[in-house]
């Protein structure tokens, strides 16, 4: 919008394809972009036809996703975690980059293959949009969501698939502030239908942490992460081999900050 008031200056304010900007401004300070990456981006731009082409030309110079989507298996668990936390930092500071990537190219690129570098178990709560708060896009993170972010058999099966088959290098089990499922469990609320089926999974955290909702949410994330590690031989095997980290975290819905709990 500011461009309306700076019409006399035709110089684009944002990134150009110069080598300096390629290395300094894409994907945060830690990321440098190799010539191979730059070539691949140009190739992908050229491969796009029709109305999307203009978008790709405008946004393509910041097209980062295939690098991460393809290179995930090269990431260590520590690097995968860093990539997630860097994304949360961008989210908190309002410097999102995921929306600058061309979704049509990404869909095409990942239509037959996904290689997410991370997996997340989060609550179904509408205030916890996982890709958004980690500033990630199509193909980057394998997400399981269930109210109370509990490690049920189906969730464990899904995360085994994400880690063992797809190759995610880190699993983050993330509770959040003001969680309705946790609050209902603490108060043993009368609820319709099968909602109370969640309670037994969350009760151990209540027993441990008391009646403060956020304290129980944090305890629950730690317990569910531990359960995931201990009840899955697939997950524990990957952890023992140093190929996977399983961590508990807490998402502050007011500040947007994800904090590691362990």
CB of 213 to Zn ion, least distance (A): 10
Q: Tokens at residue 116, please?
A: 């997410």
Does residue 141 interact with Zn ion by CB under 5 A? Answer: no
Does residue 179 interact with Zn ion by CB under 5 A? Answer: yes
Stretch that binds Zn ion, among 47-55, 118-126, 220-228, 254-262 (CB under 5 A): 118-126
93-123 as b/e: b if 16+ CB within 10 A: eeeebbebbbeebbeebbeeebbbbbbbbbb
The nearer residue to Zn ion, 139 or 148, going by C-beta atoms, is 148
Does residue 125 interact with Zn ion by CB under 5 A? Answer: yes
Q: What is the pairing mode between strands 245-251 and 258-260?
A: antiparallel
Across the beta sheet with 141-145, what order do the strands follow? 141-145, 118-122, 170-176, 245-251, 258-260
Stretch that binds Zn ion, among 30-38, 98-106, 178-186, 222-230 (CB under 5 A): 178-186
Stretch that binds Zn ion, among 79-87, 119-127, 186-194, 204-212 (CB under 5 A): 119-127
Does residue 83 interact with Zn ion by CB under 5 A? Answer: no
Q: Tokens at residue 162, please?
A: 């994400």
The nearer residue to Zn ion, 86 or 183, going by C-beta atoms, is 183
Does residue 123 interact with Zn ion by CB under 5 A? Answer: yes
CB of 186 to Zn ion, least distance (A): 12
Please work out the total of residues on this chain that contact Zn ion, with binding judged by CB under 5 A: 4
The nearer residue to Zn ion, 28 or 204, going by C-beta atoms, is 204
CB of 218 to Zn ion, least distance (A): 12
Residues 152/146, Cβ–Cβ less than 8 Å:
yes
Neighbours of 189 (CB within 10 A): 12
Which residues of the shown chain bind Zn ion in the complex (CB under 5 A)? 123, 125, 179, 181
């Amino acid at each position: 919008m500011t461009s309306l008031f700076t019409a006399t200056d035709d110089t684009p304010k944002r990134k150009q394809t110069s080598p300096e900007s390629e290395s300094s401004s894409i994907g945060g300070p830690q990321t440098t972009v190799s010539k191979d990456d730059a070539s691949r981006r140009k190739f992908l731009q050229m491969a796009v036809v029709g109305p999307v082409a203009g978008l790709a030309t405008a946004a393509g110079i910041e097209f980062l996703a295939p690098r991460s989507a393809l290179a995930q298996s090269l990431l260590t668990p520590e690097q995968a975690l860093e990539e997630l936390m860097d994304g949360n930092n961008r989210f908190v500071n309002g410097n999102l980059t995921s929306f600058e990537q061309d979704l049509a190219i990404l869909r095409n690129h990942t239509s037959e293959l996904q290689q997410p570098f991370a997996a997340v178990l989060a609550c179904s709560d509408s205030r916890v949009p996982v890709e958004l708060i980690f500033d990630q896009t199509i193909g980057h993170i394998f997400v399981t969501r269930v109210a109370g972010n509990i490690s049920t058999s189906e969730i464990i099966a899904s995360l085994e698939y994400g880690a063992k088959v797809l190759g995610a290098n880190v699993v983050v089990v993330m509770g959040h502030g003001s969680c309705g499922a946790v609050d209902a469990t603490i108060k043993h609320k009368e609820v319709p239908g099968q909602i109370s089926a969640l309670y037994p999974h969350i009760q151990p955290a209540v027993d441990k942490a008391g009646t403060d909702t956020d304290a129980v949410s944090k305890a629950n994330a730690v317990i569910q992460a531990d359960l995931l590690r201990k009840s899955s031989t697939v997950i524990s095997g990957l952890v023992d081999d140093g190929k996977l980290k399983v961590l508990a975290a807490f998402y502050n819905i007011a500040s947007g900050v994800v904090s590691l709990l362990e």
